[in-house]
């Protein structure tokens, strides 16, 4: 009988211990669950702020910072590489005529057309205002094809602005990375080609390494703004 009493006492103590521990275990599970939620929220916030820093809020495309990061990473690989710069002609007229909100809608449409270029176009970026860029992982022929395709995508069919249709034109400059170049050199080469396309109204224009800009002349189209 004494053994039975001892057993019942032990079982009772165990049950009492479990009853006391249950709220503690529930509290611990709640803490762990909250920590997991906090970690997920932190990761979402980090992703949000990263995207905000690397993407255009007008077109949702990568921005100039993302473009530079991509170029620097690709340059380090030493693979064939080219850059296409695109400037929309007379875009100020669109903003003045239809307003900036509709102008932003038009920029978004242009960005979506460029975003569907596909390989060898590796990155489509919205740099600022009405200027876009396309990084091409390929040789000179690939870069030229993407440049001319981009021109047709923009200029070939009208865009909807409110209840109106607006046909755009673009000036497109492109350049191929050379062994001596840094990312900023490729940017400048494509920019100079775009300026020549704008000045000559030639649609798409390749960078000419033999072309020398006279001292004091404008070397970049964006310098005119």
Is a pLDDT exceeding 60 seen at residue 194? yes
Considering the chain, what is the average pLDDT of its residues?
Answer: 76
3-state secondary structure of 62: strand
Q: Which pLDDT belongs to residue 88?
A: 87
Is a pLDDT exceeding 90 seen at residue 208? no
pLDDT tens sequence across 131-185? 999 999 999 999 999 999 999 888 877 777 777 777 888 889 999 998 888 899 9
- Which range, 2-11, 19-28, 130-139, has the best average confidence (pLDDT)? 130-139
- pLDDT higher at 213 or 27: 27
- Mean local confidence (pLDDT), 93-105: 76
Whole-model pTM over 0.75: no
Locate the domains of the chain by residue range.
1-54, 64-224
**Beta carbons of 86 and 154 less than 8 angstroms apart:** yes
CATH 3.30.70.270 assigned to domain 64-224? The reply is yes
- Percentage of the chain beyond pLDDT 70 is 69
Instruction: Give the up-direction half-sphere exposure of residue 127: CA atoms within 13 A in the CB hemisphere.
Output: 17
H-type alpha helices, the chain: 2-54, 64-75, 91-98, 100-115, 140-155, 183-200
Q: How far apart are CA 153 and CA 172, in angstroms?
A: 12
pLDDT tens sequence across 34-88? 666 655 554 554 554 445 567 777 777 888 888 898 898 888 887 889 999 998 8
């Amino acid at each position: 009988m004494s053994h039975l009493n001892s057993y019942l006492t032990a079982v009772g103590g165990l049950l009492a211990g479990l009853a006391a521990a249950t709220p503690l275990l529930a509290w611990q599970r709640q803490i762990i669950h909250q920590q997991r939620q906090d970690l997920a929220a932190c990761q979402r916030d980090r992703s949000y702020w990263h995207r905000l820093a690397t993407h255009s809020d007008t077109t949702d495309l990568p921005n100039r910072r993302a473009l530079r990061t991509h170029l620097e990473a690709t340059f380090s690989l030493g693979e064939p590489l080219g850059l296409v710069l695109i400037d929309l002609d007379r875009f100020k007229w669109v903003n003045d005529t239809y307003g900036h909100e509709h102008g932003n809608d038009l920029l978004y449409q242009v960005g979506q057309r460029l975003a569907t270029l596909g390989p060898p176009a590796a990155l489509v970026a919205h740099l600022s205002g009405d200027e876009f860029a396309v990084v091409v992982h390929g040789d000179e022929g690939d870069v030229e094809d993407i440049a001319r395709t981009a021109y047709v995508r923009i200029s070939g069919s009208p865009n909807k602005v409110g209840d109106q249709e607006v046909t755009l034109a673009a000036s497109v400059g492109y350049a191929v990375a050379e062994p001596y170049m840094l990312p900023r050199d490729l940017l400048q080469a494509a920019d100079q080609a775009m300026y020549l396309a704008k000045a000559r109204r030639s649609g798409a224009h390749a960078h000419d390494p033999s072309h020398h800009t006279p001292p004091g002349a404008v070397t970049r189209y964006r310098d005119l703004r």
